[in-house]
Structures are given as C-alpha cells and as structure tokens.
Structure 1
Amino acid sequence: MTETTLKEEKRNQAVLVGLNAHSLPPEDNATETTLEELAALLETAGGECVGTVLQNKDKPDARTFIGEGKVDEVRELAQAVDADLIVFDNEISPAQVRVLTEDIGVQVMDRAGLILDIFAQRARTREGRLQVALAQYKYLLPRLTGMWGHLVRQTASGGKSPIGTRGPGETQLETDRRHIRRKIQKLEEDLQDVRRVRAVQRDRRIKNEVPVVTIVGYTNAGKSTLLNRLTGSAIPANNRLFDTLDTTTRMLEISDTCTVLVSDTVGFIRKLPHHLVEAFKATLEELKYADLLLHVIDASNEEWQSQARVVEKLIRELGAEQTPRIDVFNKCDCFYSDILPSGENIVSISAKTGEGLDRLTAAIGRQLDQGAKKVLLSLPYDRGGLLDMLYREAKVEDVEYGETILVQAVCTPKVLGQVQAYVTAPGP
C-alpha cells in the first residue's frame, strides 16, 4: 500500500465534548444520548470518535465554555489518544472556539459546523449546493477573526505584534468580510429565483388540483425507504444520518380516482443550526403548502418521543402546524415494546418489509379524497378545446375519435362542472 493511499484513508480522530448546565434550556444541553448522536454524525462526516467528555456545571464559562480545569482534562485526553479534532455538542461562540483551539492545541468545532460539513458532502443538486453554501458563509463570517490569528502568532514574542504584522492582517480580514458578504447577497438572490420557480410549480399543481404529500421526520427515520416503497422508486436510502438533502418528488396512485405527488425532505435533528434552517427555507417552506404531512417516526428508537418533539417544533417554526398530518411509526418490525402506537391518523408500518403500507395508503386516500369521479364523455368536434382543458386539469385515460370524441377521464368536481353536459355514463 502506498503512502498516498494511507493518507487518503486517514480519518479525523475526534474527542467529543458536551456541557450539561442548569442555566441552559434542556434542548441546548448535552447528555449521553446527544453525545451518542454526535458520534453518529462524526461517523457520517468521515471521522472517528476516540473519547468523550461530559461536563456538569451550573452555567457555561464565558471564556472556555466548560471551565479551565475541564479544558486541561480535554487537552490531556486529546494528547493521550492522538486526537486531531475536538467537537462540542453544544453551540459555542467564535471567541470560545479561538480560545479553546489555542488552549487545547488542535482544531475545535461545534455540532453546527459538523452538520454543515455533512451537508456540504451530501448536496447534489444546484439548489442543494446553493443552500449549503449560504449556510456555510453565514457560519464562517463571525469566525474569520480567529482564522487570521496566525498573523499574530507567527511573529509575536511578548504579547504584542511587531510593526508590519498588524495592518496587512486587518486589511485582509476586512477584504474577506466584504467578499463573503457579497457572496451571501448573491446566494440569497439566486435562492429567491429558486423560490419563484417553486411558487410557479406550486401554482400549477394547485390549478390542476394535484394533492401534495410531504414526508417529514427525524434524520434516518426511513423517509427515503418509505418513498421508494410507496412509489416504486430507487432513491438511494442508506442507514446513515442526512443521506437525503435534495427534495425528491414522485407520483403515487392511491386509487382509480386519486393520484398524489409525494415529496421526500431533508431530515431534522436536535440542535439543527438556525442559519441552516434559514438557508433551506426554499426547500422546507414546501411543508406549509402541502395538503398532507407524513411524519415518519423511528419506532425502534427508544428516544422516538424526544425526536418527534424536535420535528414538531420545526414544523411549527416553518408555519405548517395547521397542515393535516398522519404520524407514521416506521420500523415496527424492530419495535422494542409489545404494544404499537395506535389511534386516529396513526399508522404503524415497516417500510423495509412493506408491512402496514396498505393501511397507510388507505389513510392517505381518506385524507385526500377530493370526490373525483371516472366518467365517459362525448365531445362534439367543435368543442375540442375542452379536450385540451381535460389534459391540463384532469386525468385523461383514453381518447377515441369517431362521430364524436369519446374521452374517458377522472375529473374533480370542479372540472366535472365544466363538462357535465357531455357526460354519457360513469366510467368503467
């Protein structure tokens, strides 16, 4: 094996650090569970966890977040296990990142930075890349000062920077800030164009009365596997966090008279960076325009209740709390309890085995049945324009040209009202 290959295979060795403080809101604290999730995120990003440190404290330390004594402990652990990265489960300020990096001697980042790195690896479409780039630049902007600290450290001998090292660094810092602000402005303009295109597509769907079902849920809950099962698609669905970033939409025929569009979305997670949610608004705002949400919950995970609360909170933040919803308990074949969740608008399934999908399809049909009917129409040739309308706004199944134009189509009540005079019989 060559030296080049060895270098390529080397993975970041990381120590994970979390703070559980009484003064922080519960959702901002680190626990054994959130550190396990952070380790899974690190694995997804291509790194390896070689140690964890969980600090319990009344309140965060303003300078180091975890306190000077704990910093010494983290530094000693990092040296002992030869770690080259420290990842904090909590959000830490740019100033704290700079201090901790200097005190520990290796790169320090927080959960938000790690998630951004994963998103950058996963984005495939132009829209996805634009959204990730915007989030990255917004994350980077307040952290630029620390990145220019090397100009001081390279030559400083007594706490002061010698003449000649201050000006250029500051000048370059300001230049970089202006450059990034311009980049952010351009990306926001490009994403406005994306939102306009989505709005046009949305208007077309509304006009054609095609119901939209959007799949939401915690990351790795099985959303892509469910979409594949429902629609016969072959979307990559792997057992890893944030495997899907780019929205995928497929057609699903519920019955002879009900066809819907089903969309997969990016997964949610605890402590999802705010600027990442903002950047992905162009994608995530589709939730509030959906006719039905399928909230996929990993029933095999003992933390499913807290994961469901994370998703419900983000649904509210995105303004989709009034959208009708079905809670889909997935992986029921691996459920850890004897009694599966049940109730109105609750369905237990296994997207992997197909168990319960018939019940889910029936539940979707009950929610979205628009009273469409299959009919046989006899259109005079001088009313041929109605056929064009039917192709746009109904589901045309068969056309025969004889003495009249015989059309078999599935029509919503609105369309049926426009062609009622030409109905010869209900469709077969």
Structure 2
Amino acid sequence: MDSSPAHGSVLDPQRVQRRTVWVLSTAQLLSGVGSGASLSVGSLLAVQLSGSNAWAGAVTTTMTLGAAAAALPLAGLAGRRGRRGSLVTGLLAAMAGALLVIVSTVTGSFPVLLLAAALLGLGTAANLQARFAAVDLAAPERRGRALAIVVWAVTIGAVAGPNLIRPGALVGRALGLPELAGPFVFSTAGLALAALLLLIGLRPDPLLLAARLRSESQPTPTAAARRRNSLRHGLDAIRASPRARLALLAIISAHGCMAAVMSMTPLHLQLLTEGPLTGMPAGHAHAASTDVLVLIGFTISLHIAGMYALSPVMGWLTDKTGRLPVILLGHGLILLSVLVAGFGQAEPVLVAVGLVLLGLGWSAATIAGSTLLAESVHAGDRVLVQGVSDTMMGAAGAVGAGFSGLVMSGVGYQGLNLAAAAVAAVVFTVGSLAAMRARRLTAP
C-alpha cells in the first residue's frame, strides 16, 4: 500500500505533481537504455540466432506482444495498489529480460531470446503507463506538457542505447560475453536503477492521491461503478465517446506504422550495404561489420530522437492549439516520412531522414492522442481505458512488426513503407473530417 502522510497533514497536489514528474522523468531516462538497445540490436540478434532473415522482426514483435499482454494487468495493479507498484513490477520484469538476452547470446538459444523479448515488453508497458501517471494530478491546461515531459525524458537513455553497440562490444569482450550482448549489460543496470528510484521516490502515489482527492469532493461511487474493471467496460467507455474513439485510432495507427517500418530498417541497411545473406546454414551466425552496426545504431538513434526529443514542443502544441490539430500533424508527418524512406530506400541518408520524420509523427500523434483519450472518459474509467489503449497499442505494434518481415520479403522495403503510407493517409482523412465537423459545430 502507498505510504501516506500522517492523518491530518495537508498535501499540496501541485507540489506532489512536480515531484512526480521529476521522478518519472528520471526513471524514464534510465530505463530508456533498455529499449534503445533492444530496437537497434534485436533484429540482428534474431537473424543471428535463428539463421534466417524471416525472423528479423521476431524480437520487436515479441516485445510488443509482451507489452500488449501486460498493459491491462499492470493497469489493474495500478488501480488496486497505485502507479508505483505497477511501474516497478514492469521494470523488474524488463531487467530480468535484459539478463536473459545476455544468456541467449551466450547459449545461442533463439527461444530464450524470444522469452527475453517478452519480458522486455513488460518494461515497455510500464514506460507507456508512466506517461499517464504524469497526468493523474495535472491541471487540465497542463496535461499535454506534463505527459510530454515524461515522454521526452526517455530521450537520453533511448538515444544512447543504440550507440552503446561499440562500447557494449568492449564491455562484452571484457566480461567474456559475445559483442552483441554488451549493450544489455548497460540495459540491466539502467532498469535496476529506474525501478529503485520509483520504489523510493514515487511517494505519495499520484494515482492513489488523485483518487483520494476525488473521493473527498464527490459522492462515494456506487457498487456498479466500483465493478468497472473489465476489458469490455473499458471498450464500452471508449465507444461511448467519439473523441476517445478518434484518440485511440490515432494512437494505435501511429504505433503500428512506426513499429513496422522501424523494425525492418536495421535489416534493410545491412542488406543495402553488405548484400543479402547467401549460403548461410540455418542456425549459423552472420555478424554484421562494425561499420554497419554503427550506421544502424546511428540511424535508430536519430529515429528515437525524433520520437522523444521534441516531446515538450508537441505537448505545448497540444495544450495551445488543441488535441486534434496535433494528431493531424502527427499523421501528416508519418505519411511524409514513409514516402521519403520508401522512395529514398537506396540512400542511407534519406532512410535516416525518413526515420526521423517517422519519430516526430509518432511523438505528435501519441502525445496528443493520449492527452485526448485521458480527458474524454469518466475519471473513474480512466486507468482502465488507459490500459485498454496500451493493450491495443501494443497489439498494433506487434501486428506491424510481425507482418513487416513478410511484407518486406514480398514487396521490399519500399512496398513496406507504401503500406504504412496508406494507413497514415486513412487516419489523416478521418481526423480531417472530424476537425471539419468540430469547426461546423463551433461556428457562430
């Protein structure tokens, strides 16, 4: 249970909110190393341990499935015990996953790698839930910025993660580990420190404090309201609000497009610079050159920087211009990004530019969509709806990453990007129609 101040003491919610955002942001920074390393090295490890390019997206797919499967249980745990217990549980599971990645590279076991990826997915679910924890106590006019600051905080760790390939190789050799296992030594340490910080610093728990403040100002909820803890009820709450439906569509489509293109980019760059893997027996490793690994790490770092570095700007725009315009901006950027990367597939520079734009589009759509979703449902349904959103977001990422290998095998990297462009164009059209309807309703 959450440790609370002595009875009768007075808490300033905004002071707690400022401390909460600081603690969440620092934890995101530390845990971001794990996700950055996984994104850049995961597809290479999957090919190396499985012996087939067809499994290149397996790590990303398994991570996103793990995140999707964990989202609702972690949301339920947050509803019962508060944000701290939920977030710490997810990060400790991810730390175990990072350790198992190291085990998989030492033993050459592809199934162990997939198990590790599933556990790392729990860390992804916890990091996604942290953005909602930032708005539990936030004033309505500052929700977008509070959420964006926590999203932004992952920048340093996540951008550093892919660039730890070379230092990780040195650490790996020093510890007698395979070179690709080295970055996950850093991931393990970062996740452990993040979990410890949340365990100590996230007091009082923002969700429990917000619920207590609501209970003091509102009547006691009915028994029916207290039973609002099912997936079906969460979906019903979203369906009942057109704004929540649009927010959810924006979030899951942006994440699906991003996961599909991003998960295949490391393999595309390797094939572009070194050619296809031919004559490689199943189960035998094909080690990419150090220069290619650096190119891949740098490109994915730029993509992650696009996802997180300008998050405060996206949050400010969300609060100042409205949620829907920023959602449209995000999907417009995604559409532009996949066209640049697809038609510029032969040039690593254009691929990198496309990945940066893809990250910026994801940032805008996710921050504005998450803010809109949080305020479009009843406060009593909010945690459950957030869990449903993260579950569907993870599922969309898993579908995108899972089918991306098949799509790329069939129609190439350009075809994969054009498929993502079609999805972004549909969502942009739906959002534009909603914006026009909103303007007609508010016109004098």
Q: Is the TM value for this pair above 0.5?
A: no
Larger fraction in helix: 2
TM-score (norm 1): 0.26
TM-score (norm 2): 0.25
Larger fraction in strand: 1
Greater C-alpha Rg? 1
